[in-house]
Amino acid sequence: MKNLRLIAVLVVAANLAVVAFLLLKTPADTRPAGVSEAIAPLLEDTTQARATYELGDQKEKLNLIVISMDALRYDRSGFGGNPDGLTPNLDAFMEEAAVFHDAAAVASWTLPSHMSIWTARWPSIHGVTNKLKLLSQDQMVPTTLSPGIETFPDHLVRAGFTSAGFTGGAGVQAMYGFGRGFETWLDDKPFAGFDYSAPPALEWLKANSSKRFFLFLHGYDAHGQHDLTGLRPRDVITDYHGNLDGSIEEQARLREEGLASIKNPGDTADLSGKVSADDAAFLKKVYDLKVKQADERVGAFLTQLKAMGIYDRSVIAIVSDHGDEFMEHGYVDHGPTLCQHQLHVVMGIRFPGFTRRNDIKTPVRLFDLFPTLFDALGLTGPSGVDGQSLMPILRGEKLDLPMYAESDYRLFVHLRSIRQGKKKLVLDLSDGGRRLYDLASDPEEARDGSSADPRATYEMEQAVRRWLETTRTNPQDYLGLKQEPIKIF
């Protein structure tokens, strides 16, 4: 009996010691007034779930790191429910992050999507919707962001952040307006992966991490135009007996053949006679191998950040810019559609000191990223932008955000979409056609429900048309438009 009492006393003492330890660890500005108030959340284990992400004094000192994993589909991630173990490193990162499970890109390919992240504006507003733009009837000139449009990184540079970007080039080159004001911007290798961009980023950090910095890291590892490193897909995927080899040349050919199948305004790409179900399954497996490589490389980079003592001195966001298609809608690659396989992206933010995963199910836009980061860090960004801070959601408030997306891919397709709840409408400006999807019952967007639900179709189309007015888009300019896709990408 005495022994039991002694054990009980020791257990109580140990618990009190743990509580005292946790209280001492709690930053002074968030420490509750009374002990009972402090113990209750500890017992309920909800301190992190109720995290407000107040960064306190750290706010003025933290660095900012944004990592963009190009063409990574949300549904390939473990934290997004994929069972194949493709992203263990990303999953581990997200275990300590605010994870936006329903984040949508506002454009379905690299250049406009990244520029929307950079500016928090709709593509039609920032104007960098293609690599070239039509100057006159037969003259194309490279597109670049207007000097009159401020970016969030402009403000970081102005606020004194030493800034550098290490990218895979192509759609994120400085010539389009990225890297303005940066000390360093690497973009010299087209469609390079993190194996190319991360090592110089780490070198740069060694020399610069004593200053307050903003680092942008980007890689095309999962992209169709980036080859697997050290692996030939046919050597690894042995249960496929078709003719494809999973090369970047083949991927480019299929992409162009898909576009060539669009004969008239309003047509959708159709590769069904050229890519069988087995071929598509093979291409998806090649993609999964690339996703794994992307994850390993980002994981290795994060490990280095920890070793250098940077990980817990930085707010770190990991995102993807769009997804990819493998014949879910008759096409391979991305850009000319606005299906969820393209728009549903990865988006997670790790705030140091908040080490529990916070699952956010509210639909948000990828271009809300910088407004959110700025809000968290107490920084002022450009005014009048279209994106907005998601911090209210993280603090438990509700936000109902307008979910639009657009694609004028290679000046060839002209699509706009809207999501309201589980309904999604895609409007094709080139023929005025519209398709309505119920993402709850038809997540693959296989059945057009516009004739079955004319009221929702009408109301959502009107919402799109009102939004078009705000983006100064005249739908008449696109009606009946028929031209060749511009030849650069």
Q: Given the rule CB under 5 A, which residues bind Zn ion? A: 70-71, 110, 321
The amino acid occupying position 137 is Q
Between 153 and 169, CB nearer to Zn ion: 169
Nearer to Zn ion, 221 or 321 (CB): 321
Identity of the residue, 71 or 115, whose beta carbon is nearer to Zn ion in the bound complex: 71
CA distances from 295 to 45, 78, 398 (A): 31, 11, 32
Counting Cβ atoms within 10 Å, is residue 48 exposed (0-12), middle (13-18) or buried (19+)?
middle
- Which residue carries 């549903």 as its tokens? 344
Least distance from C-beta 321 to Zn ion, angstroms? 4
Which amino acid makes up residue 376? A
Residue of 208, 135, 145, 203 lying closest to 172 (CA atoms):
145
- Residue 110 near residue 68 (C-beta atoms within 8 A): no
Query: CB-side exposure of 280: number of CA atoms within 13 Å?
Result: 17
Q: Which is nearer to Zn ion, 110 or 457 (CB)?
A: 110
Whether the CB-CB separation of 404 and 418 falls below 8 Å is answered with yes
- Cβ distance to Zn ion smaller for residue 188 or 359: 188
Q: What tokens appear for 416 in the block?
A: 């706009």
Residue 219: CB minimum distance to Zn ion, A = 10
Least distance in Å: CB of 70 to Zn ion?
Answer: 4
Taking every pair of Cα atoms in the chain, the longest distance, rounded to a whole number of angstroms, is 96
Nearest to 322 by CA among 365, 286, 279: 365
Question: Which is closer to Zn ion, CB of 366 or CB of 394?
Answer: 366
- Min dist CB 388 to Zn ion, Å, is 23
Least Å distance between CB 294 and Zn ion?
12
Q: Output 71 or 205, the one with its CB closest to Zn ion.
A: 71
For the chain, counts of helices (H) and of strands (E): 14, 19
Checking DSSP bridges between strand 162-166 and strand 415-420, what pairing results, if any?
A: unpaired
The least distance separating Zn ion from the CB of residue 105, rounded to whole angstroms, comes to 9
Which CB, 213 or 412, lies closer to Zn ion?
412
CB of 45 to Zn ion, least distance (A): 39
> Shortest approach of Zn ion to residue 342 CB, angstroms?
10
Min dist CB 28 to Zn ion, Å, is 43
* C-beta pairs of 368-374 under 8 Å, 24+ apart in sequence: 368/120, 368/401, 369/66, 369/117, 369/120, 369/317, 369/319, 370/117, 370/118, 370/120, 370/152, 371/120, 371/152, 373/64, 373/66, 373/152, 373/315, 373/317, 373/349, 374/152, 374/155
Name the token pair of 147.
């000097």
Q: Which is nearer to Zn ion, 161 or 220 (CB)?
A: 220
Buried b (16+ CB within 10 A) or exposed e, 76-86: bbbbbebeeeb
Q: How far is the CB of 392 from Zn ion (least distance, A)?
A: 29
Residue nearest to Zn ion (CB): 110
Q: For residues 107 and 379, which CB has a smaller minimum distance to Zn ion in the complex?
A: 107
Cβ 114 to Zn ion shortest distance, Å: 7
Distance CA 436, CA 421 (A): 13
Question: Between residues 321 and 333, which has the closer beta carbon with respect to Zn ion?
Answer: 321
- 203: which 2 tokens? 């070198």
